[in-house]
Amino acid sequence: MGIIRKLDANIANKIAAGEVIEKLANVVKELVENSIDAEATKVDINLVDSGMKSISVTDNGKGMDESDAFLAFERHATSKISNINDLFRIQSLGFRGEALPSIAAIARVDLKTSNGEEGINVIFEDGRLIEKKTAVINQGTRIEVTRLFYSTPARFKYLKSPQYELSVIVNLVNGFALANPNISFKLTNDNKLLFVSQGNDSIPNLITQIYGPQVARSLIYFEAENRDYHVYGYTTNPIVNRSSKNYINIVVNNRLINNADIVNAISDAYEQLLPKNRYPIAIVYVEVDPLLIDVNIHPRKQEIKFSEKDKLIKLIKNIILEKLEVTNIYQKPSDDFTQTKMAFYEESIKDYDKTTLDKKPVFNKDNFESSGEKAILDLKYIGQYSGTYLLWQNEVGLYLLDQHAAAERIRYEKYLKQMNARNNQIQELMVPLKLELGNDVVIVLEENLDIIQELGIKIAIEDNQILVFEVPNWFPKGFEEVYVEAIIMAVLDDKTLEKSMFIDDLAKLLACKHSLKANHYITKLEAEELLKELRKCERPHTCPHGRPIIVEISIKQIEYWFNRVI
């Protein structure tokens, strides 16, 4: 007798359920997706004990008749697919017919539904029908899930604290609302209202509810399209940022998805505008013909395969870059004077709707250009604080300028321009520099002499010594040895030596080494010259590492601090 045997249906169903239902949020996701597919305009999610005791989802969708109510609990029974070709033009969120049977295999499921003509109530437990009766219910569906994992108690060990599980569900519902702004969602836990959306298509209002008014005031609307894709959405002014990429949301044809390439494209657009490991808050909507994507590549449909993905990535990155180029990013205290957290320097937006933000941006090309000449206002120098911050004023308020960050930005852009120039002027050293960096460095350096030469540095190696005969003309006097050593070490440390990235990193490194430092007092003339040079920069608001250069404190803010506000 063979050792291979067919699994019992009950065991097979529980195994299959484990592939779909791993945590409480999976139940909420599957049920809400069914409601959305049923064309509901209102979806209520009610939890008891963060969903550990009960999860119920009620909608006003199309509902089902008696036969469909039973078929919904059959595995691989679906209304979304009728032939093989339908797999290539999926427009619904659910399509595999796995949700209800997977949940019912490991819980008690009480379903009440009506298509407007008849109402039916069926109860399944452990994958088996245990009760059927008529129900009085408005058109739509209500599903309550209790005793989740009661027949598979080992699954409970994978659940975390009720607070954590609740936070995951809240984040999930936030995503559903952003992906479907035309649907009203309500979430309660133990009869406490946690979230409600109006379903009025206002994405900025949703962002206000989810992330707060400070984020909403910083929104930048973008929109672009090519032959295959139409993209639009909102991202934040660089000063409003977070420490996680999780605040970048991607919606494709109303489906919230994960896609590292799109997230990275958005992050890359903020290069030098954000400090390392800081990210914007963004919502990106992608509209595309279903034939050009494959939503059937992930067990929980959280990832999508795109046709012509590179063109989509380029489209998103370029439109965000374009918008950021005309965005002014002074920092200032929040308009809410009871807070001290820094926010963007911009006017208050009273009505957070797409039309207002799109047609009447706070800063546009008519008001500001990408060069510092237009971006930095007229300022009068009034002094220096702590040997680090230069103080300026005008009729708007008080401005603090970080002298090291400003000097770093100025030198970075100058060095980048010089290193990318093909006609680098060099200077011959009267007495060659001698560098002793160790024999290990010398051995590796011999393989990279051509890269050093391209940067305008002429060196030779003799007896484990590095002799420097010529250096670029833009090297600051007295810093030749420091710069040559920094460049050599940068060449040896670089893993890819991809030229544009290497040159950019090198410019940042050298700019930091010789820039005006903190705790160094300078004269009024030096301060004014620094501001003059900063005005010539393409991105005068942040240093090359993304730190802010200028902070603005409005007169109203100062008057509030001194109780002079009427």
- Does the domain at 203-333 match CATH 3.30.230.10? Answer given as yes
- For the segment 436-444, the average pLDDT, to the nearest whole number, is 69
| Coil, strand or helix at 130 | strand
pLDDT score, position 76: 56
pLDDT of residue 364: 34
Cα-based angle 60, 65, 66 (whole degrees, multiple of 5): 130
pLDDT at 145 over 90: yes
State how far the Cα of 185 lies from the Cα of 447, in Å rounded to an integer: 62
Give the homologous superfamily in CATH for domain 372-566. MutL, C-terminal domain, dimerisation subdomain (3.30.1540.20)
Confidence of residue 347 (pLDDT cuts 50, 70, 90): very low
Cα separation, 479 vs 370, whole angstroms? 32
User: Which residues are within 8 A (CB) of 442 and not within 5 positions of it... i.e. 6 or more apart?
Assistant: 461, 464, 465, 466
What CA–CA distance (Å, rounded) separates 300 from 294? 13
Per-residue burial over 461-470, b = 16 or more CB atoms within 10 Å of its CB, e = otherwise: eeeeebebee
The CATH 3.30.230.10 domain(s) of the chain lie at 203-333
CA distance linking residue 331 with residue 342, whole number of Å? 6
Mean pLDDT value across residues 404-415: 89
Which residues make up the CATH 3.30.565.10 domain(s) of the chain? Answer: 9-196
pLDDT of 14 reads 46
Taking residues 11-32, report their average pLDDT.
69
Rg (the chain; Cα; Å): 30
CA distance from start to end of the chain: 93
**pLDDT score of 518:** 61
pLDDT greater than 80 at residue 394: yes
Residue 434 has pLDDT above 90, yes or no: no
Burial group, residue 193, by CB count within 10 angstroms (0-12, 13-18, 19+): exposed
| pTM of the predicted structure, to 2 decimals | 0.66
- Predicted confidence at residue 417, as pLDDT, reads 84
User: Which pLDDT value is given to residue 179?
Assistant: 93
The pLDDT, as a whole number, for residue 375 is 65
- Mean pLDDT of all residues in the chain? 79
- Confidence class for position 65, pLDDT limits 50, 70, 90: confident
Looking at residues 269-282, what average pLDDT do you find? 85
Asked if CATH classification 3.40.50.300 holds for the domain at 9-196, the reply, yes or no, is no
Report which of 63, 64, 39, 80 is spatially closest to residue 183, judged by C-alpha positions: 39
Q: Is the pLDDT of residue 190 over 60?
A: yes
Q: What is the pLDDT of residue 264?
A: 92
Question: At which residue do the structure tokens 């006003």 appear?
Answer: 60
Average pLDDT for 462-478: 80
pLDDT in tens, 97-131: 467 888 888 889 999 999 888 899 999 998 888 99
Q: Coil, strand or helix: which one is 391?
A: strand
Top mean-pLDDT range of 73-82, 142-151, 195-204: 195-204
**What pLDDT band is residue 346 in, cutting at 50, 70 and 90?**
very low
- Residue with the bigger pLDDT between 336 and 475: it is 475
pLDDT of res. 566? 55
Is residue 36 over pLDDT 70? yes
Question: Given a cut of 80, is residue 401 above it in pLDDT?
Answer: yes
Please spell the DSSP secondary structure of 30-78, one letter per residue. Answer: HHHHHHHHTT-SEEEEEEEGGGTSEEEEEE-S----HHHHHHTTSTT--
Q: List pLDDT tens digits, range 492-518.
A: 776 555 666 778 877 887 787 666 666
pLDDT cut 90: percent of the chain above it: 30
pLDDT of residue 468: 85
Q: What is the pLDDT of residue 3?
A: 58
pLDDT at 561: 86
Averaged pLDDT, 151-169: 76
- CATH 3.30.1540.20 residue ranges for the chain: 372-566
**pLDDT grade, residue 89 (50/70/90)?**
very low
- How do residues 161-184 score in pLDDT, each as one tens digit? 888 889 889 999 999 999 999 999
Q: How many other CB atoms are found less than 10 A from the CB of residue 456?
A: 20
Q: Who has greater pLDDT, 367 or 391?
A: 391
Angstrom CA distances, 314 to 292, 335, 433, 446, 512, stand at 17, 35, 46, 38, 31
